[in-house]
Structure formats: structure tokens, C-alpha cells
Amino acid sequence: MEQQVAGAEDGAGAEGVPARDPGPNWALTAVGTLFAIGVLALAGWLVRFPADEFRYTSDMAGTPGTFTAAHCHNEGAGKSRTRQCEGPFVPHNGSPTDPAAHITNARVDVGKPAELRRTDGGGYVQPGVLNAGMDLAGVFGIFCGAAFLLMFPAAGPRRVKVETGVPLRANPQPWGTLVPLLLGLFVFFGAAAMLTLFGAVVLGVIGAIFF
């Protein structure tokens, strides 16, 4: 008799009472959070390189001066091929001349003076619209990639529950409200990167032809 009553109660609980939400899967939430932190950390580290280079290519930092290539030569082959040039660099501010300045892949001709910027680390960068645009496009590109990667944990469910006839997208998403924002940032930074790069190339070609 007791077994029958217990069975009836179990049946009522299974059919008459909605199934309890087991709550979030904290393991998935922790993995998603760590993934997001890793993406942000990696993006912050990577963006320093084009952002720092942009300060020099846009004439906002560094020591300006005139570089005259004494000789240039190519190193490597294929996609790894680089053009190395060496010659004296004369700063405009009267600081000591560097008789053996070295720069890689600069658009300079042997014996023809060109404007360069000496960085705080002692290296040399060729300023100009094309290089500045490529650096800025690199910054936008990194932000675009970060927004794309962050959409994965934002769109992922806090717990995976598989039921017959219930699609996986029905699983609750703890950061689902961030998906439209991240998607907007992805589109914005992607478009900004492409437009910046395209504009820099066009202006660079125009400058090379007419100036």
C-alpha cells in the first residue's frame, strides 16, 4: 500500500509539477569567463604593437630626421623576403647623427633623402599616410577579432540540456544580451579596418603619383 501511494505521488510530481531548473552549469560559466578574460588580455597585448607604431607613422612621436640610404639589399625569399637599408640619419633637432641607421621594408631609394622617425627604442619608422593607415587598420582589426571571439561565450548556454523536441538554442544564455552589442562592435571595427586600409592605400598611391 505504501509503495502505491509513493508511486502516485511520484507520478503527480512528474506530470503535475514543472521540472525544476537545475540552475547554471558553473563549469561552463567559468570556462566562458576565463575564455573572455584570455581574449581581452590577448587583444590588449597585441594592440600595443600597431598602436605604438601608429604614434610614429602619424608623426605624433619620435625624433624626425632625414635618412639617406647608402646601400640596400634583400634578405630571405618568398613571403619572408625583406628589404634592408642602411645609411646616415640626421635628426632635425640637432641631436647626434646616426651614421649607420637601419630600416626594414622602407620605401626609400639609395642616395635619395627620405623622412624617417627615430623611435624611443632606437629603431626607425617611415611616417606617412599609408603606414599610419595600415597601423590604424591593424588596431581596428584586433578589436574586430576580439569582438568576434567574445560572441562565443556570450552566445553559449550556461548549461547544456538536451530534451526530445527542444532545440539547443532554448538553453538559457547568461550573457545573451551582450551578443547584439558584440555583433555591432564586430561590424563597426571590421568596416573601420577595411575603410581605413582602403583610404590609406588610395591616398598613398595619389601621394606617390602627384607629390
Domain range summary for the chain, segments of one domain joined by +? 25-58+128-211, 63-119
The identity of residue 18, as a single letter, is P
Q: Residue 16 above 80 pLDDT?
A: no
pLDDT at 32: 76
Nearest partner of 107 among 133, 89, 131, judged by Cα: 131
- Distant-in-sequence contacts of 203-206, Cβ < 8 A, 24+ apart: 203/129, 203/130, 203/133, 204/128, 204/129, 204/130, 204/133
pLDDT of residue 40: 93
Better-predicted residue by pLDDT, 65 or 158: 65
Asked if pLDDT for residue 168 goes beyond 70, the answer is no
pLDDT at 153: 79
Q: Which of 127, 137, 108, 144 is nearest to 199 (CA)?
A: 137
Mean pLDDT to the nearest integer, 141-159: 82
- Which of 46-60, 171-185, 193-207 has the lowest average pLDDT? 171-185
User: Which of the listed ranges 37-41, 158-162, 205-209 does the model predict with the highest average pLDDT?
Assistant: 37-41
Interatomic CA distance for residues 149 and 81, integer angstroms: 32
Q: Give residue-wise pLDDT tens across range 92-133.
A: 998 899 999 999 988 898 999 999 999 998 899 999 999 999
Residue 1 has pLDDT above 50, yes or no: no
Residue 184 has pLDDT above 70, yes or no: yes
Cα separation, 69 vs 52, whole angstroms? 25
CB–CB of 168/181 below 8 Å? Answer: no
Interval 166-171 mean pLDDT: 50
DSSP single-letter state for residue 202: H
Least confident of 60-64, 89-93, 114-118, 205-209: 205-209
Contact between 39 and 154 (Cβ < 8 Å): no
Burial of 18 (0-12, 13-18, 19+ CB in 10 A): exposed
pLDDT band for 180, please (50, 70, 90 cuts).
confident
**pLDDT for the residue 170:** 53
Given a cut of 50, whether residue 53 has pLDDT beyond it is yes
- Helices 178-210 and 129-155 pack at an angle, to 10 degrees, of 170
